[in-house]
Homo-oligomer: A and B are copies of this chain.
């Protein structure tokens, strides 16, 4: 065979991640993705069924949050911020989700599930109850997603120019307070 089925599928998926991350759901066309993967558009349909299912496959990922119970309580903020920055720059799946979830309802739902389902329980330990934990997770999301938005999507110059350490230094106290301050 010219290429293994799995290889092509992986190539399509990689191209899809790049296009979705760069252009968002609507402007990332199946034709462009197929061209990037050096394959016919119809193969994308054969392997993934539809554009929506291709997107679902491309946006499938995990926050891989560290076990926060092993972290000293006063280091929670810095640990979380550093982890998010690293995770964000490591692969493009988060970028895909953020870019698309602004115009695509399904992607927004997925982001909701991720931040409620993965961040919520992780921060539950310091919180006073389920509702309090959810609210604290939400507050952390506003700061962390806002940073990602400004740094990676909008590219606000002063935010782009900050080093990773500077960002951690500025944001860690914020996140720390959202997690541990008495409500």
Is there a chain B Cβ closer than 8 Å to A168's Cβ? no
Distance between A183 CB and nearest chain B CB, rounded to angstroms: 9
Q: Does A165 make an interface contact (CB < 8 A)?
A: no
Give how many copies assemble into the complex: 2
| A interface, over-half SS | helix
Residues of A119-142 contacting chain B, CB below 8 A: 131, 134-135, 137-139, 141-142
Residues of B within 8 A of A173 (CB): 177
> A146 vs B138: C-alpha distance in the bound complex, in angstroms?
11
Q: Chain B residues near A143: list those with CB within 8 A.
A: 142-143, 146, 174
Chain B: CB-nearest residue to A105: B155
Contact B149 A145 (CB under 8 A): yes
Contact at B146–A144, with CB atoms within 8 Å? yes
Q: How far, in angstroms, from A160 to B11 measured CA to CA in the complex?
A: 39
- Chain B residues near A68 (CB-CB < 8 A): none
Q: Which of B103, B147, B155 contacts A26 (CB 8 A)?
A: B103
Residues of chain B within 8 A (CB-CB) of A99 are 102-103
